[in-house]
């Protein structure tokens, strides 16, 4: 693992802790799925009305660390800092969802199917494209 950069480790992690920042500067972390894109960015999908999206509209700074599904981060976990771009609508959606499907396979498909039972598919989703610093 010594050869891997923090970005490589985060991109290959099953779950990451995504940290966004409140107006006060207080960090708020959430366990998320992440997939690397070919251009060096990282992709996350989340609900458009989530608090993290509201925080990112005000302050696009993020930190990513490998974590457990529950968001637990080990003390020596590498940190990737970056800036999140919010992508609403269908612009590039197939490409971004394809990245998540490749990494998470049936889990991603099941999640999308369960969400489609409640609401129109992807109507309330936003893509976070994270550019590492």
pLDDT at 114: 67
Closest by Cα among 46, 32, 52, 50 to 103? 32
pTM of the complete model: 0.84
Q: Which domains does the chain have, with CATH numbers?
A: 6-132 (2.30.110.10)
DSSP letter at 79? -
pLDDT, one tens digit per residue, over 34-81 is 999 999 999 999 988 899 999 999 999 999 999 999 999 999 999 999
């Amino acid at each position: 693992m010594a050869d891997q950069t923090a970005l490589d480790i985060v991109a290959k992690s099953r779950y990451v802790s995504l940290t966004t920042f409140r107006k006060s500067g207080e960090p708020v972390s959430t366990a998320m799925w992440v997939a690397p894109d070919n251009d060096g960015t990282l992709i996350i999908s989340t609900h458009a009305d989530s608090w993290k999206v509201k925080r990112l509209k005000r302050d696009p700074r993020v930190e990513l660390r490998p974590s457990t599904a529950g968001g637990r981060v080990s003390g020596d976990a590498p940190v990737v800092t970056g800036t999140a771009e919010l992508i609403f609508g269908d612009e590039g959606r197939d490409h971004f969802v394809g990245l998540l499907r490749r990494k998470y396979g049936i889990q991603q498909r099941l999640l999308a199917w369960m969400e489609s039972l409640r609401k129109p598919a992807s109507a309330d989703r936003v893509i976070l494209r994270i550019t590492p610093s």
